A and B are shown apart, each in its own frame.
Chain A
Amino acid sequence: MDSTVSYGLLAEDEKHALFIKRIEAGEKIEADDWMPEEYRKTLIKLISMHGISEIMGALPEKEWVPKAPSLKRKLGIMAKVQDEMGHGQLLLRVSEDLMKPYGKNRESIMQDLFSGDLKFHNVFHMEAPTWADAGLIGWLVDGAAIITQTNMLDASYGPYARALKRICAEEVFHAQHGESIIMALAEGTPKQRVMLQESLNRWWEALLMFFGPGDAGTTGTSKQDITIKYKIRTKTNEELRQDFFTKYIPRVLSLGLILPDSTMHFDKEAGKWIYKQPDWGKFKDIIKNKGPKSEERLRLRRISYETNEWVREALGSASAGERR
């Protein structure tokens, strides 16, 4: 082709330089564009983990769908968990397109999840034993997710940025759904208030862990430098965690809840929140599927996947569906 940039004729390092120039200029990279292997692999890891976390994240909340205490709450939480599945769909589609050159697809993602190769987010390995947890997940876990996801709205990878735009718009509903449950409990009977405080205590450490370790020194690995280098995100884990505190701690306190960390305070001089570090050793174990609910939730997903295999087999064969 007669063109100024014929990728086919460029050497690898020239392609790389051009790629960097594109993302520096704020251009979006698309699925079929040339991209460095490291970029592709980083995206696959990040987005498939994000996607499968949405799917696994539906499970703790779905426990509460049939149990929601009123028709309105039943409808609200159904719509919310449906969105989580929907977000999983969007994100898995984005990562499936990225992994296509490696011959991988939705099936491989599921197999990787079952084998433990594909991790899911630490918060979704935790227990959600009361109705207050259903509210707290919507309020604070989704709140934390909004902080990390809005940070990537301008990601250099176009399909991811577009999926996040859809997701963040829906997260606003999720946050309000969670706030509404929390507000009813906070303004409710003493029993309801105890339920709420216990839920906050239970989720506190997982919420701190949500943003990942502050630096690679804490857990040995961290992808944050690479994702910043490639303009997938802008802020570090710790910056995001601090943003979360700034947005949510005043709200937690305003409802009369007690912070589970008595040492926590805002250091005006340093301009940051001082808090007790969670047990990062525990974090490493949790994401290796050694959390309190890891096995049970993986089992649930595996059973549903295997039980319904006949449906995919039946319609996946050439003879089924539309006969052309």
Chain B
Amino acid sequence: MTKIISPDEAKQNSSFKSALTELLYQLADDDFILAYRGSEWLGLAPHIEEDVAFSSINQDTMGHAAIFYQLLEELGEGDMDVLAHSRPPKERLNAVLLEMVNGTGTYLENPKFDWAYTVVRHYFYTAAKKIKMDSLKNSTYQPLADAAARVSIELFYHMMHWRTWFQQLMLAGGEARTRMEKAIFQVMDEMEGVITLGPKGQEIIKFALIEHDKTLKDRWQAVLSPVFTSVNSIMPESMGMKSGNGRNGEHTADLESALAIMNEVYILDPAANW
């Protein structure tokens, strides 16, 4: 398929545009909600130096969400802030894994956040995101290919950061190992939801916007498998979507409460300049 080089060109082919926007919502919503979950950790990380480093990753990720929302805005989907803040849960296409709370309590009260879960979730997600970005560099929608090339620049650091934490906590043994293994199963239970391209997957693949999700999944396993070996462990074979498929608009109460918090100021007056 020939490359579509501009939003105007994309708008002329309604089935192409529909597949494209579907994929863009997935990418934008994934990064947006995970950056939000990450930002809840601010000031609460296990170590001050790590708090600072982690915050940069969250800022990068929120910045990536903004890049994808911007592409949607250019396609006539509306203002990027409206897209990020105003869409109800059933219109959100992020993977359920990424909306899940960091632990018990909230970021304001009793935040008993789980660092093991955070390390595993971020590491596994980042690996999947990197694979998607690499595939998207050949996307038939040129603005998306360009965006993917830009986004992937920052993922080298994210990968190194989370891989280091993953390997060290796995190798630490004892309580850390137990917590990490538990987190791995929790994350794998939902990991399929990150990789799947959802109900319009066939269209997305047909238009060569990105490669087949089966291919992406194989690559993900090929990246992670040796890391598991390096920490004397074996990667669980199966992954699932235990709490639903976010690409279908299926979500948990965790997303609702997150949206209520992130919109608290915005909805006071959506028309105002803040």
Q: Is the CB of B59 within 8 A of A304?
A: no
Closest residue of chain B to A323 (Cβ to Cβ) is B171
Give A131 to B110 CA distance when docked, in angstroms: 22
Q: Which residues of B contact A (CB under 8 A)?
A: 36, 39-40, 42-49, 51-52, 55-56, 58-59, 62-63, 65-66, 69, 80-81, 84-85, 103, 105, 107-113, 115, 168-169, 171-176, 179, 258, 261-262, 264-266, 268-269, 272-274
Decide yes or no whether A317 CB sits under 8 A from chain B. Answer: yes
Within 8 A of B (CB), among A92-130: 92, 106
Within 8 A of B (CB), among A38-95: 55, 58-59, 62-71, 73-75, 78-79, 81-82, 85-86, 88-89, 92
Decide yes or no whether A8 CB sits under 8 A from chain B. Answer: no
Within 8 A of B (CB), among A170-186: 181, 184-185
Chain B at the A interface: SS class: helix
A71-B80, A304-B43 given; 20 more Cβ-contact pairs under 8 Å: A66-B262, A67-B261, A68-B265, A73-B274, A78-B62, A81-B55, A85-B43, A181-B274, A185-B274, A187-B273, A191-B268, A300-B109, A300-B111, A303-B105, A308-B47, A313-B175, A314-B169, A314-B174, A315-B172, A320-B176
Q: Is the CB of A74 within 8 A of B266?
A: no
Closest residue of chain A to B37 (Cβ to Cβ) is A66
Closest residue of chain B to A55 (Cβ to Cβ) is B48
Within 8 A of B (CB), among A264-279: none
Decide yes or no whether A281 CB sits under 8 A from chain B. Answer: no
Q: Is the CB of A70 within 8 A of B274?
A: yes
From A66, A187, A308, residue with most partner B Cβ within 10 Å: A66
Which of the residues A71, A303, A308 comes within 8 Å of B45, measured between beta carbons?
A: A308
Closest residue of chain A to B36 (Cβ to Cβ) is A66
Which of the residues B115, B264, B269 comes within 8 Å of A67, measured between beta carbons?
A: B264
**7 examples of A-B residue contacts, CB within 8 angstroms:** A69-B274, A71-B66, A79-B59, A81-B42, A308-B45, A315-B172, A321-B168
Which of the residues B48, B107, B272 comes within 8 Å of A189, measured between beta carbons?
A: B272
Q: How far is the CB of B26 from chain A (nearest CB, A)?
A: 18
Q: Which residues of B contact A106 (CB under 8 A)?
A: 48
Which of the residues A62, A71, A81, A189 comes within 8 Å of B65, measured between beta carbons?
A: A71
Q: Is the CB of A81 within 8 A of B265?
A: no
Q: Is the CB of A82 within 8 A of B59?
A: yes
Q: Is the CB of A65 within 8 A of B42?
A: yes
Given contacts A310-B176, A310-B179, contact A66 B52 (CB under 8 A): no
